[in-house]
Chains A and B, each alone.
Chain A
Amino acid sequence: MGQSSGQSSTGAPADGPTIALGIDTATSVCAVALWRFDPATGHSEALAARAEPLSRGQAERLLPLVGEVLAQAGLDYAAIDRHGVTIGPGAFTGLRVGLAAARGLALASGRPLMGITGLEAFAHAAVHGLGGPLVPAGWSAPAPLLVAIDSRREDFYLQAFDPAGRALSPPEAVLPADVPAFAARFAGPPVLLGDAAPAVAAVLAAAGCDHTVAALAPEGPALAVARLAAMATPAMLAAHPANPLYIRAPDVTVAPPGAGR
């Protein structure tokens, strides 16, 4: 299988730049980005990116959107050397839409796929200014980045990063009442990021905790996974399989026989 010509199995061209497709449907959007990295010159750039604020209907929109982004960049599917995808946490259906599509693309093309958590993708986008420069009011350099993703439930998925994008905590599901204590674990008033940042900000404000909210264009995480996939070494690709990060165990409700049929 595979359409590769002059490519190694890691999807890294023997010479010349690497083009990666990034997909993010795990964070209340349907987003696609293309990134190009030239290892010879070190030049790295976004080729195209689109995000639609969709919390439903991603299954319909995702692949047409990939086609539109490729067309915008003047490329076709054969030009994609690597794939990157956000693996969650987030809405279960949304993250499976992106993961199933990314795995299907990787399978059919025989080219690699890298999975990145949505939390890391937000942090990476913020640190590298993907989806707009990160200039929240009152930004002070040593402040921790606190990425918050909407769980569609009572709690938030939270993870803290240092200003260089290194994780300070593991991904966690945190109830609103526990958010101030979570934020207090890290030195300095946090910079909030992610689709649940406004909700977390409201909780911190109510508790009188100092914080700032950063704005990031919705294609930021898709750009981040595309950039990470394009620049990854083979070892990094291998260390990031595209397996889902659900955090929450499945709700056990038995389907009525023939449900939906």
Chain B
Amino acid sequence: MIVLGIETSCDETACAIVDDTRAIRANVVLSQLDEHRPYGGVVPEVAARAHLHYLDGLIRQALEEAHLDLGQVDAIAATGGPGLIGGVIVGVMTAKAMAAARGLPFVAVNHLEGHALTARLTNDVPFPYLLLLVSGGHCQLLEVEGVGQYRRLGTTIDDAVGEAFDKTAKLLGLGYPGGPLLEKAAQKATNPGRFELPAPMKGRPDCDFSFSGLKTAVRRHVEQLGTPTEADVADLAAAFHHAVGQSLLDRCDRAIKAFKSRHPANEHGGGRHLVVAGGVAANTYLREQLAKLAAKRGLTFTAPPLALCTDNAAMIAWAGLERFRLGQTDGLDFAPRPRWPLDPNAKPMKFAGVKA
């Protein structure tokens, strides 16, 4: 079984082809970073134009790299949301048209489910598992019980982690996107304990996140410093990492307790994994911290390779394949969904409405 997947929900135009032996036959990603960098963030109309401009060429490239003809593909999957609607429309219309022309099934994939199921593509992780989804737009803890079956344990009440990274990097004059730049700065810290920053939500009984206060605390330090030196920036970046790590660990530890009580480890390997996904999972420091926590709690820590943590189409093709083999396909009248929570039963959060 071979599935072609398309991803156009943010600022990466991507196409990939995967099969049911978990082989990635092709994985083409075109980042629009250069188009958006001058604005310090993603401009929806610029993104939508770029997706339309590049997508069909990328699909041809993926088929060539996989040495496949569309006649050998069993289904076409595309991100159907959530995301920037102009881009989602480009991917969905292209996929639906390809499916129609070839009489192939079309699968609309929830972008978040793509991230959530990546560990099954890369590491064959059995259900159920605990997932920490951390990216520029998301910060959630989810129990992944099956394809399409999610229970949200916690979510951010304000900023997402990646958003906190971007905003903090901007405060420190590091540029965009913030994650890799902040990490690089933190590695140069000579006195990482010099600044004290709060670990948001630590000790709270729920599993929710908050990062807006942390950003404010960084701003206060920057203002006190006046013009921070390179050493100040490095030490602040390290303090920021430490605070984010403390918060994530505390929240995850609570989620692990809840997850274990509902899903005791079983003989099929279920209930044994802590999976981290999303762009922030590319952060080496946070990965190490989470791996240590998982080990302490007797869980296997799984993080997909970095290239599959950030937005890509292999995860969309894989989630499409998982849905397709369960007989779940979508009609050609599928309407792109700007908002699409993984757990429709989770209580809406004031800010989480747009983040989760």
| A positions within 8 Å CB-CB of B | 1, 3, 57, 59-64, 66-67, 77, 80, 92-93, 96-97, 99-109, 243-244, 246, 250-261
Contact = CB atoms under 8 A, between A and B. Distances in A.
B160 A105 contact: no
6 contacts: A60-B333, A92-B48, A97-B93, A105-B98, A250-B49, A253-B44
Interface string B90-126: 1111111111111100000001100000000000000
A259 B111 CA distance: 13
Q: Is the interface of B mostly helix, strand, loop or mixed?
A: helix
Nearest to B69: A1
Given A101-B97, A107-B56, A258 B89 contact: no
B160 A108 contact: no
B97 A63 contact: yes
B332 interface: yes
A260 B39 contact: no
Interface centre among B69, B100, B163, B333 (most CB of A within 10 A): B100
B94 A104 contact: yes
Given A255-B44, A259-B137, A260-B83, A101 B94 contact: yes
B44 A257 contact: no
A252 B84 CA distance: 14
Given A101-B97, A259-B354, A96 B41 contact: no
A92 B71 CA distance: 32
Given A59-B335, A101-B96, A259-B137, A108 B101 contact: yes
Nearest to B139: A258
A78 to B, nearest CB: 9
Contacts of A57: 335
Interface string B33-66: 0000001111111111100110110011001000
B135 interface: yes
Given A107-B98, A252-B43, A258 B160 contact: yes
B39 A254 contact: yes
A253 to B, nearest CB: 7
Contacts of B89: 59, 93, 96-97, 100
Contacts of A101: 93-94, 96-97
A109 B101 contact: yes
Contacts, number: 159
Contacts of A260: 81-85, 338-339, 354
A258 B135 contact: yes
Interface centre among A3, A246, A258 (most CB of B within 10 A): A258
Contact of A104 (B42, B83, B97, B103): B97
A254 B42 contact: yes
Contacts of B163: 257-258
A254 B53 CA distance: 20
B336 interface: yes
Contacts of A77: 100-103
B354 A96 contact: no
B91 to A, nearest CB: 8
B98 A64 contact: no
Contacts of A61: 333
B60 A107 contact: yes
B55 A100 contact: yes
Contact of A1 (B70, B136, B334, B355): B70
Contacts of B45: 92, 250-253
A97 B94 CA distance: 9
B296 to A, nearest CB: 30
Given A1-B63, A66-B100, A104-B96, A261 B55 contact: no
Contacts of B128: none
A250 B138 CA distance: 26
A246 B135 CA distance: 32
Contacts of B94: 100-101, 103-104, 107
B154 interface: no
Contacts of B135: 258
